[in-house]
Chain A
């Protein structure tokens, strides 16, 4: 009854208040944080502007172009191009336009350098796909207009730098012509286009830059063919490798005549090496080749004479050339040496002399240097100084100047693959990490300010100070567990193979670890991180152990390469152990069982459908054996349109005989007809979701029993024709089918067809409902549907006395092989936005009502009450239904501007939303990631179990003290008065009686 009245209270509150969960302006940043990143830098161009703040323009692998402050590394402006709008090249034109070439060379854009506004955009089409080049010559004028030269899609374009107009174009239609370089010799009006044709033909075109006229076309045949890229060593000489990778071809085309020279690599270096590749570089006169272990720098002397200048086995990175004066080019070279990196800046024609040689201490967790960009500046003594921008293996970006790291950006966080959370250490003596207050004076000052604020005496400056104090409260960024469970560690795995632990309080990086197992090695050629799982969450038995996470990775892109497991301690960020598996990892199934040390049992399925149990301990094995016959697994083969269910059979037979390996057998399969259905989305419930109750009480005190199963799979299929872009098919040809499948028995519990609808489908599954989002072609609008599943076989449990006495079987374990009788209720609504992600809030006990978190196309997160997606909504709800909180049915879902969780911010490139329950039942933690990161706390039913942050404890205390004082004073007063009254009463009577007795005696 207590719970019931509690519910009624909640109901009352939620129905009396409009569902708006906005914040006030001064609450921004109290519980949320937002971090902006750009991703791994592909290309960087330094702005040569003399005046104003120094800046560098970068393009990244996340398709971001950004202008960064060269002094601090902050973002001036940033644009995220679409996911399929890959940036091919950037440059700065006329000193004030940033020119970008993207989408395989088909879109050219110009942006204003100071503020990032787009100036113009041109679409460049061409006859065929090819490499693309963007050249911004400084001296090529055409009617006072600077020209841009772009080669893309097999066509050479000359484009006006001012308005993006195509001035001329020239096709290179020869079938097999593959462009390799586009060269603009300085000080001439010629463009050289060189490339290969038919594998063994070298072609050179000379074009007039003024009008695109073909001046000369030469070709030469090389019987040995070519491999890989070419390196440009001068404006008229290129170096290429033959198809075996062992002979260097020096091809020069001076005055339009092609001449060549062949030099076997073995002539240059004594010991024979494996096949080499050319490292592209633009330093004149020098090129580099790389074999398995050795990097060789070779100088070209005169006409094709080669000379080795350096041979190194260290990892090395070279920058592009930087002209520092008329005829001098400098370039930077970075070599690794244990915990340091050595930076050398050399002149192109003088290998042995160094302009600059510095050593910088480098954090090992950043890995190797991947890219170097060099820039110079003039020191006060008129000599040249150099600064270099380096991109590390973990995708971070650093600026080195004068032997120091000036700034660094952790841009690896722009490409998060997977997220999990970990608790912080319990507060104990010696564990407490954060220092609480600096000194007594500061503490007093802070409280004085707060008091002033409460009494409304604070000046605007004081208010600002109070606000910054609130934001920087040390309470939220402590390194220990808190009572409400707001402080946690977010463990994220990035594409670079680095693990970061972010503090939920302020988003700072607590530790980072570049996974050693994800380093390239002999056995593991191109390791990629796949997923992150909670491996050990100590709470009951193993309190002294640190929690750890499991990182599953694979030695290559194909699914049959062997897997690697790493176990990382989440308190220290150290790798506990790593396992190189001798089998592939196709699926990882965390089981709902833990062993005696709270390690979660995981089942890894390999390519041959063997199941491998981890951890490989006898304790885990005995737990597993006990549950052996109850463990099933399923696989979704979305290519073939088959969903298969499997059961475990027996120990592995054959060569992989191992105690922890099990054979499996096929149990069932659901085959979707390939001519009419194609799987596009599957979703299940989260394994760790907590459901409070199985009953749903409806308006007239009736009960509906939810069908709550962990083993339900939602599958959405579309017509194969309709799997393309929205609008590519007519409504008649397109349909969407939603299935609910029991993954133990393969039973299809529900199937519904939406005619005239199309993907992409975003779905979320929670408790007994699934919500999915798709496009309705007939209505030309997005739609969201909800399906709720109820268990009809339990519906008879309505006898109050049986329930009072506990004589029911509602909580006894059930088998899915018993035939369930389910009914479903569903409803559809229009929705304005297209979505990027969808999630649902999750709380510790599952009592709090739920909100859907929708990642909109505008990169924001919108919270929508689940009450809006209730299949019991009707146009005219009865009074009882209204009391229950049912909202009258409307055709579309409302978007309340105040319910944007991200308020005014945007999470650029939003990819995922993760919700984690806090210990406080009303609150859930939300982490949204994309190129940016955003974290906040949400209370879907408001914080009914805690006082709000702006609650005035001082006022409460003062009131209590005043009340106690008043009680005491009045008690004393009343006591005194009582005594006085008694005395006066007695004396009055006493005098009266003496008087009367005297009077009587008178008689």
Chain B
């Protein structure tokens, strides 16, 4: 747009701009047609000021910490739900427990993705990531603990012998009252 102003200042009535604007930032206002993928990513960041960059990286770090702490709320929520579900095995408690187990596992699988937006050379993501993993592990532990209180963990001898077939006897004896 600054370019346009310069041109206007010279007093021309109209102009058709035949230059290739595809890489120019001004052309970003117009969305690409559907199906068109821009091959080259604009690297040139020269117009963004350094200050702005600092602010953004600060903001990113802050945001990353926030994301890392998010499972904590979840944890509290889950704890409440579990408390509500009680200690008997039925559909509700089993559902709660399995979701409590599943959520941390899926979250742990997607650690990289969660912190992708905040990736920055300036930002140290290790701290938030560790916190995130720790909180999710805590959630997992909570789920396992719940599983145990429901009695669904094979921690007793009875869990391992309940399907043992009876031992074979060596001797065999038959008979009875004469026919």
Contact = CB atoms under 8 A, between A and B. Distances in A.
A586 B14 contact: no
A398 interface: no
Interface in B1-34: 1, 4, 8, 14-15, 29-31, 33-34
A5 B154 CA distance: 10
A798 interface: yes
Nearest to B15: A1001
A302 to B, nearest CB: 55
B157 A692 contact: no
Given A12-B90, A636-B177, A684-B176, A993 B171 contact: no
Interface in A614-653: 627, 630-638, 645
Interface stretch (A251-259, A339-347, A799-807, A829-837): A799-807
B156 interface: yes
Interface in A723-768: 743-744
A94 interface: no
A243 interface: no
B152 A633 contact: no
Given A4-B154, A633-B174, A803 B161 contact: yes
A534 to B, nearest CB: 15
Interface string A469-507: 000000000000000000000000000000000000000
A814 B168 CA distance: 6
Given A982-B34, A986-B33, A1003-B8, A695 B179 contact: no
A983 to B, nearest CB: 8
Contacts of B48: none
B30 A813 contact: no
Given A800-B156, A993-B30, A4 B176 contact: no
Given A692-B165, A694-B165, A1001-B15, A633 B171 contact: no
Interface in B24-54: 29-31, 33-34
Contacts of A8: 89, 151-152
Interface residues of A, number: 80
B165 A811 contact: yes
Interface string A588-621: 1111100000000001010000000000000000
Interface in A673-723: 682, 684, 687, 691-695, 697, 701-703, 705-706, 708-711
Nearest to A768: B166
B45 to A, nearest CB: 24
Interface string B133-169: 0000000000000000001111111111111111111
Contacts of B153: 1
Contact of B30 (A591, A710, A990): A990
B170 interface: yes
B175 A815 contact: no
Interface string A238-266: 00000000000000000000000000000
Contacts of A813: 167-170
Given A709-B169, A711-B169, A1001-B14, A605 B152 contact: no
B171 A1000 contact: no
A693 B174 contact: no
B178 interface: yes
A910 B81 CA distance: 57
Contacts of A953: none
Contacts of B30: 989-990, 993
A797 B157 contact: yes
B164 A811 contact: yes
A9 B91 CA distance: 10
A816 interface: yes
A993 B29 contact: yes
A1003 B169 CA distance: 105
Given A590-B174, A744-B173, A810 B179 contact: no
B173 A587 contact: no
A54 to B, nearest CB: 44
B172 A632 contact: yes
Interface in B78-99: 88-90
Contacts of A587: 174-176, 178-179
A814 B169 contact: yes
Contacts of B169: 709-711, 813-816
Nearest to B9: A1003
Contacts of B172: 591-592, 627, 630-632, 710-711, 744
A985 B30 CA distance: 11
A812 interface: yes
Contacts of A694: 161, 164-167
B90 to A, nearest CB: 7
B174 A815 contact: no
A986 B32 CA distance: 8
Contacts of B167: 694, 708, 810-814
A467 B171 CA distance: 53
Contact of A634 (B151, B163, B166, B175): B175
Interface of B is mostly: loop
A787 B156 CA distance: 27
B51 to A, nearest CB: 29
A893 interface: no
A408 interface: no
B31 A706 contact: no
A559 interface: yes
A703 B162 CA distance: 8
B172 to A, nearest CB: 6
A3 B175 contact: no
Given A633-B175, A636-B177, A813-B169, A693 B157 contact: no
Interface string A791-828: 00000011110011000001111111100000000000
Contacts of A814: 167-170
B157 A799 contact: yes
Contacts of A9: 89
B66 to A, nearest CB: 31
A30 B169 CA distance: 42
A530 B137 CA distance: 71
A55 interface: no
A695 B158 CA distance: 8
A638 B175 CA distance: 13
Contacts of A817: 171
A586 B178 contact: yes
A377 interface: no
A989 B32 CA distance: 10
Residue of B4, B151, B155, B171 with most chain A CB atoms under a 10 A cut-off: B171
A357 to B, nearest CB: 46
A515 B169 CA distance: 38
A630 B171 contact: yes
A52 B170 CA distance: 69
A702 B156 CA distance: 8
A728 to B, nearest CB: 24
A7 interface: yes
B31 A989 contact: yes
Contacts of A633: 173-175
A850 interface: no
B162 A634 contact: no
Contacts of B31: 985-986, 989
Contacts of A693: 161-166
Contact of B89 (A12, A706, A800): A12
Given A989-B30, A1001-B15, A701 B174 contact: no
A585 interface: yes
Interface string A1-44: 10111011100100000000000000000000000000000000
A810 B175 contact: no
Chain A to chain B: the 9 pairs with minimum beta-carbon distance, closest first: A589-B174, A803-B160, A632-B173, A701-B156, A695-B161, A708-B166, A697-B158, A743-B173, A633-B175
5 contacts: A530-B179, A695-B158, A709-B169, A710-B169, A1002-B14
Given A631-B173, A633-B174, A634-B176, 19 more contacts: A1-B154, A530-B179, A559-B179, A585-B179, A586-B178, A589-B175, A630-B170, A631-B171, A634-B175, A638-B177, A693-B162, A694-B164, A703-B162, A711-B172, A743-B175, A744-B172, A798-B157, A1001-B4, A1001-B14
